[in-house]
Chains A and B, each alone.
Chain A
Amino acid sequence: EAGVAQSPRYKIIEKRQSVAFWCNPISGHATLYWYQQILGQGPKLLIQFQNNGVVDDSQLPKDRFSAERLKGVDSTLKIQPAKLEDSAVYLCASSWTGSNEKLFFGSGTQLSVL
């Protein structure tokens, strides 16, 4: 089966600019996640969707980050305006619905904010 697709693979922007990342989950997976992985740290959940509804966005910095999954399939994550500390790898993952189902991760988008 096709994996989780993410684009772009790399992005370099200056602080205060805007950036958007795209994710296409595995077909049929109702649950989609965005994680932020800062260098040397483990991934941290930013937001979890169930179909097109938000399940958990408690760690999303809502003053600058936004995410949507309008049709319950693809998702976009946006940062506006970006800060230096947003430099990280942004990982998208998807899974079947249900506890203990394993997550399938994309290769991530590496963001550098200069």
Chain B
Amino acid sequence: GNSVTQMEGPVTLSEEAFLTINCTYTATGYPSLFWYVQYPGEGLQLLLKATKADDKGSNKGFEATYRKETTSFHLEKGSVQVSDSAVYFCALSEQGAQKLVFGQGTRLTINP
């Protein structure tokens, strides 16, 4: 079945550091790929998405590129801020479907 694997957390960085959170997936067909973020005390919210190979999703300085050849969708940001501290979830949905399959989440802490 479909699955998503994220890099183990937690991840702790200093402000203005470069961020990469790895995500790989297993799926049949051509899934859509997502990054969701959960800030402390809040619900999950969509950060960015990509719906086909080589698409790049971007939002709030975060980027991720849909790489079909490596079945990856790594999240990157060039300079993180304290306000980026949250739990990040990689997810996929099957082509033509809406339900999401999530990775286990990566907790990110940014220190000033």
A residues lining the B interface (CB < 8 Å): 3-4, 31, 33, 40-45, 48, 56, 91, 93, 95, 98-108
Contacts and interface: CB of A to CB of B under 8 A. Distances in A.
A42 B4 contact: yes
A107 B45 CA distance: 10
A105 B93 contact: no
A103 B98 contact: yes
Contacts, number: 60
16 contacts: A3-B43, A4-B43, A40-B105, A41-B105, A42-B103, A42-B105, A43-B100, A43-B102, A45-B99, A91-B44, A99-B95, A99-B97, A100-B51, A101-B98, A103-B46, A107-B43
B102 A100 contact: no
Give the size category of B's interface with A: 20 to 34
A91 B87 CA distance: 15
A101 B96 CA distance: 10
A106 B43 CA distance: 5
Interface of B: 4, 32, 34, 36, 41-46, 49, 51, 89, 91, 93, 95-105
A48 B99 contact: yes
Nearest to B45: A105
A27 to B, nearest CB: 17
Given A42-B91, A43-B100, A102-B49, 18 more contacts: A3-B43, A42-B4, A42-B103, A43-B44, A43-B89, A91-B44, A99-B32, A99-B93, A99-B96, A99-B97, A99-B98, A100-B49, A101-B98, A102-B46, A103-B44, A103-B46, A105-B45, A107-B43
A55 to B, nearest CB: 8
Contact of B104 (A42, A91, A99): A42
Contacts of B91: 42
A44 B102 contact: yes
B46 A100 contact: no
B42 A42 contact: no
A104 B95 CA distance: 19
